[in-house]
């Protein structure tokens, strides 16, 4: 309550005083950056600074700093004693660097690590809900919340789906917008084409067996689902967000639309009229096997600086 009414300096200061000191580390990492000054789930750089004894300290950035205006000046000073500020993509790093130019000498980027072996293993499991044969299958896995843009995508894609009755969209996940999404599906008579799967412990079998992954968010920094879909040789249709072109590469422009209802509708209609482009992309991706080699090299180089 104090953080909401005033800011989070006092409660996080108290947290740093009661946290047991951690000592004897070569590299210490805060995997959540400083964000808004009225959010208590922040302060990790401050706890890292005051409560951890390490030769090198780093903070991971998972957000688009160009869209988070409220706390730049407030949070900037908390990075002073941090050695590395790491964006989870080059685009995330650049966005942060533009609004925090005085910290540019500390900046670098490193893609998030994925457990690829687990992803490949889970993708081979049998689906609880099987896809019908002879259909073009789209799949999404996300929290059903406003920022993921599912309601907007429904409005955009509705006329396209009605013109292409063989196209189905399966959505794994749950959240506060589920009831509204269900109502929109029923009101538009799309119950036979859009299926809400609810929360799934294993979305990777659904993803692997889909023809196209849909990401319709208003904003994203560097979503790991891009890399997951790429690992499973599934083309990603996405709205243009901070790291979309960088992380998808290789023909990504063919599947990235302008971040608007009109953009989604136009590009989705284009792809549904030209599905060979999707199938060709899937074939092109079939030889790819994901790994963490580049990210491991980054970590190793920082450890070598100790």
Domain range for 71 is: 2-113+294-304
CATH number at 235 reads: 3.40.50.2000
Domain co-membership, 80 together with 22: yes
**What is this structure's pTM?**
0.90
pLDDT band of 303, cuts 50, 70, 90? confident
Q: What is the mean pLDDT of residues 68-83?
A: 79
State residue 158's pLDDT score: 96
Domain co-membership, 130 together with 106: no
Tens digits of residue pLDDT in 109-162: 999 999 999 999 999 999 999 999 999 999 999 999 999 999 999 999 999 999
State residue 254's pLDDT score: 80
Domain co-membership, 157 together with 215: yes
State residue 70's pLDDT score: 58
Q: What is the SS3 assignment for the chain? A: CHHHHCCCHHHHHHHHHHCCCEEEEEEEEECCCCCCCCCCCCCHHHHHHHHEEEEEEEEEECCCHHHCCCCHHHHHHHHCCCCEEEECCHHHHHHHHHHCHHHHHHEEECCCCCCHHHHHHHHCCCCCCCCCCCCEEEEEECCCCHHHCHHHHHHHHHHHHHHCCCEEEEEECCCCCHHHHHHHHHHCCCCCCEEEEECCCCCHHHHHCCCEEEECCCCCCCCHHHHHHHHCCCCEEEECCCCHHHHHCCCHHHHEECCCHHHHHHHHHHHHHCCHHHHHHHHHHCCCCCCCHHHHHHHHHHHHCC
Domain co-membership, 134 together with 159: yes
Domain co-membership, 72 together with 221: no
State residue 141's pLDDT score: 97
Domain co-membership, 32 together with 109: yes
What is the percent of the chain with per-residue pLDDT over 70, rounded to a whole number?
97
State residue 214's pLDDT score: 98
Tens digits of residue pLDDT in 212-264: 999 999 999 999 999 999 999 999 999 999 999 999 976 566 899 999 999 99
State residue 69's pLDDT score: 63
Between CA 269 and CA 159 the distance in angstroms is 9
Question: Angle, to 10 degrees, between the axis of helix 150-163 and the axis of helix 178-187?
Answer: 20
State residue 71's pLDDT score: 66
Number of structural domains in the chain = 2
Q: Residue 210: CA atoms inside 13 Å, Cβ hemisphere, count? A: 28
Tens digits of residue pLDDT in 85-117: 999 999 999 999 998 999 999 999 999 999 999
Domain co-membership, 251 together with 266: yes
Domain co-membership, 50 together with 97: yes
Domain co-membership, 26 together with 75: yes
Domain co-membership, 212 together with 163: yes
State residue 149's pLDDT score: 97
State residue 302's pLDDT score: 84
Tens digits of residue pLDDT in 1-56: 999 999 999 999 999 999 899 999 998 999 888 777 888 887 888 989 999 999 99
Domain co-membership, 146 together with 254: yes
Domain co-membership, 131 together with 274: yes
Strand partners, 22: 52
């Amino acid at each position: 309550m104090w953080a909401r009414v005033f800011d989070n300096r006092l409660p996080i200061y108290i947290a740093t005083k009661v946290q047991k000191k951690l000592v004897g580390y070569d590299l210490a990492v805060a995997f959540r950056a400083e964000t808004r000054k009225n959010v208590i789930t922040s302060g990790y750089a401050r706890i890292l600074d005051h409560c951890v004894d390490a030769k090198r300290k780093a903070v991971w950035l998972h957000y688009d700093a160009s869209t988070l205006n409220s706390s730049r000046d407030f949070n900037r000073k908390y990075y002073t004693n941090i050695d590395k500020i790491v964006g989870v993509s080059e685009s995330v790093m650049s966005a942060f660097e533009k609004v925090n130019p005085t910290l540019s000498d500390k900046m670098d980027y490193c893609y998030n690590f994925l457990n690829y072996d687990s992803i490949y293993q889970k993708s081979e499991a049998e689906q609880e809900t099987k896809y019908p044969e002879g259909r073009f299958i789209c799949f999404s896995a996300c929290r059903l919340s406003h920022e993921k843009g599912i309601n907007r995508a429904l409005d955009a894609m509705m006329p396209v789906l009605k013109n292409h009755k063989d196209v189905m969209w399966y959505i794994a996940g749950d959240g506060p917008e589920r009831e509204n999404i269900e109502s929109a599906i029923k009101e538009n008579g799309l119950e036979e084409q859009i299926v809400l799967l609810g929360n799934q412990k294993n979305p990777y079998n659904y993803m692997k067996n889909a023809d196209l992954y849909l990401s319709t968010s208003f904003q994203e920094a560097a979503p790991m689902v891009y890399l997951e879909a790429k690992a499973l040789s599934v083309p990603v249709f996405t709205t243009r967000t901070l790291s979309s072109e960088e992380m998808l590469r290789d023909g990504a422009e063919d599947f990235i639309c302008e971040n608007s209802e009109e953009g989604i509708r136009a590009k989705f209609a284009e792809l549904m009229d030209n599905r060979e482009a999707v199938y060709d992309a899937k074939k092109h991706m079939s030889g790819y096997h994901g790994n963490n080699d580049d990210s491991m090299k980054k970590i190793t180089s920082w450890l070598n600086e100790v």
